[in-house]
Structure formats: C-alpha cells, structure tokens
Amino acid sequence: MKRSIASFPSLVLSAALLGLAPAGAALAQGATPEKAAVCAACHGERGAKPIAPNYPVLAGQYANYLERALHEYKSGDRKNPIMGAQAASLSEDDIKALATYFAEQDSPLYTPSVGDAPQQP
C-alpha cells in the first residue's frame, strides 16, 4: 500500500516524459518517427514492401510529394477511407517527420523513361 503511493509521483513523471518523447523524436535527424510503425503495417518495413499490390511504395518517394499527399488525405482532397482516417490524426510535425523519414529509405522507386521498342531475343 505504502509502496504504491510512493511510486505514484514517479508514474506521473514518466508519463510526462513519454508525452515529451514524440516531439523530441520528430526533431532528431535520421530518427524513425514513432508513427511510422502504423504506416509500415500496410506499406511494409520502411515503406518499401506494401502488403497489398494496390498500395504504393513510400520508400524513396520525394518528401514534398508525400507531404502533399498526406495533406490531401487529411483535407479530403484525396478521398480514401483508410488514408483519410490515418491522416486525420497527424499533426503538421508528424506529416513533415513521416515524409522526410520515408523519402530517405532505400527504395525500388525510380524515374521511368519510355525506352526503346521491344528487343527480340
């Protein structure tokens, strides 16, 4: 009984520290944003391997495009029930941190070209 009362202030303190942690993580360069784990659940580890064929690769995409897309999901300019719900919970700092993080990851993405006509073997 006495013990649980004694630990109460330390609980409050650790809760306060946890509250501060995400802001600090978002500012640190190269750190993985806490919310990136939610994205990875569908877009794959580091956003490089989506779990469904109709989900995009995020890894290596331009940061300001990813930022734009998240803003559009949030505002409803892009209508998608899953992404709309996800983006609604993101702050401006979250969006910046996530876009920067995914743009920096190793990527299968590239700028395409039309190339040459088919080559016969």
Partner 1 sequence: MKSARWGAIALAAPLAFLLAAPVQAADGNVEAGRVKANTCMGCHGIPKYNNVYPTYRVPKLGGQSAEYLAAALNEYKQGNRAHGTMHAQASSLSEQDIADIAAFLATAPKHP
Q: Which residues bind partner 1 (CB under 8 A)?
A: 50, 52-57, 60-62, 64-65, 67-68, 72, 77-80, 107-118
CA 33/CA 36 separation, integer angstroms: 5
Q: Give which of 79, 76, 48 is closest to 61, Cα–Cα.
A: 48
User: Whose Cβ is closer to partner 1: residue 14's or residue 64's?
Assistant: 64
CA 106/CA 59 separation, integer angstroms: 6
User: Whose Cβ is closer to partner 1: residue 26's or residue 57's?
Assistant: 57
Question: Cβ 120 to partner 1, closest distance in Å?
Answer: 12
Q: Give which of 50, 55, 51, 46 is closest to 104, Cα–Cα.
A: 46
Question: Cβ 84 to partner 1, closest distance in Å?
Answer: 11
Question: Cβ 15 to partner 1, closest distance in Å?
Answer: 38
